[in-house]
Structure formats: C-alpha cells, structure tokens
Amino acid sequence: MGDDPKRTYLVVIDDSPEAAVALRFAARRAAKTNGRIEVLGIVEPQDFVQFGGVQAAIEEEQRLRIEGVVSASVGEILDESGVEAKIVVRQGEPVKTVREFIGTREDVHALVLGAAPSGHPGPLVDNFTDGDAGKLPCPVMIIPGSLSDERLEQLS
C-alpha cells in the first residue's frame, strides 16, 4: 500500500433495510476499487440529561449493534475481499452530524445512502439531495433499497 489514503466510502447506518443495501453496495465498490468502508452510526441525543456513564453505555450498545449489522450484511464481502471496515459512532442530530463528519475528511470519496424502496426516501436522502447538495465536499451515492444482490453486483 502506498502513501495515498485509501478511497473511503462512508455509509450512514440505521435499522432500515435500505441502509443494509447501501452498505452492501459500498463494500462491493470498495472491494473493486481497493478502497475501504467507514460505517457511521448516529445516536440521537436523548430528551433527558444523561450522566456520562449512561451515555457511554448507550454509545457502546450502538457500536455493538452496528458491528452486528455490518457482519450480517457484508461480513462475507469483507472476508473475501479483505476490505477494511471502520465503525464510528457519533452523537447528535443525524443531518448535522453527517455534515460535520464529512466536512473534516479529505479521504471520504463518497457518502453512500440507502433510499427506501417506497414512500419517503428518508431524512438523510432528502437533506443531502436538496438545496445544500452543491456544498458537500464529496459526491453522494443514493442506492435504491429495492436493488437485488445480483443488480448490486453489476452496478458496483
């Protein structure tokens, strides 16, 4: 590996099926471009004031849950390809958190979001394809949640 930072695909993960589809796309894309994936999980602030220990426990629980999603969704892709996956947990309002996170990162080549197969595409897709899309520091890839595995393989 040279001194060039690896091409990083940032996937924002939640419990939705379309987030898992976006994750599979990003992992395949990373495998084909000698890149890596970074998975961002966002813990929304609770309504009540949290003691530090409780907040840390919530973030740790979120990290373990995301690790479960990553290994269930893309574990075999990571194993086969040797793609590196880093999991980051941040606390905050999702859109603002993603914006701040990618704003500091030169190595993020694309923000990969899953769009719900029907109805509302989701708040992140809404926001990052709206008025501020032109100000982002990297492209946004919107992955339709309805794509089959075969189609994902063709497209990545």
| pLDDT tier, 86 (very low <50, low <70, confident <90, very high otherwise) | very high
Distances in whole angstroms, Cα of residue 149 to Cα of each of 25, 126, 156:
9, 24, 10
Neighbours of 109 (CB within 10 A): 21
pLDDT in tens, 12-56: 988 788 999 999 999 999 999 999 999 999 887 766 666 667 777
Nearest to 41 by CA among 106, 85, 5: 85
Q: Is residue 2 scored above 60 in pLDDT?
A: no
Q: Is residue 1 scored above 50 in pLDDT?
A: no
What domains, with CATH codes, occur in the chain? 8-104+116-155 (3.40.50.620)
Residues 6+ apart with CB under 8 A from 68: none
Residues 6+ apart with CB under 8 A from 24: 73, 74, 77, 149, 152
Buried b (16+ CB within 10 A) or exposed e, 21-47: bbbbbbbbbbbeeebbbbbbbbbeeee
The fraction of the chain above a pLDDT of 70, given in percent, is 92
Nearest to 113 by CA among 142, 138, 79, 70: 142
pTM: 0.86
Give the Cα separation of 41 and 59 in Å (integer).
9
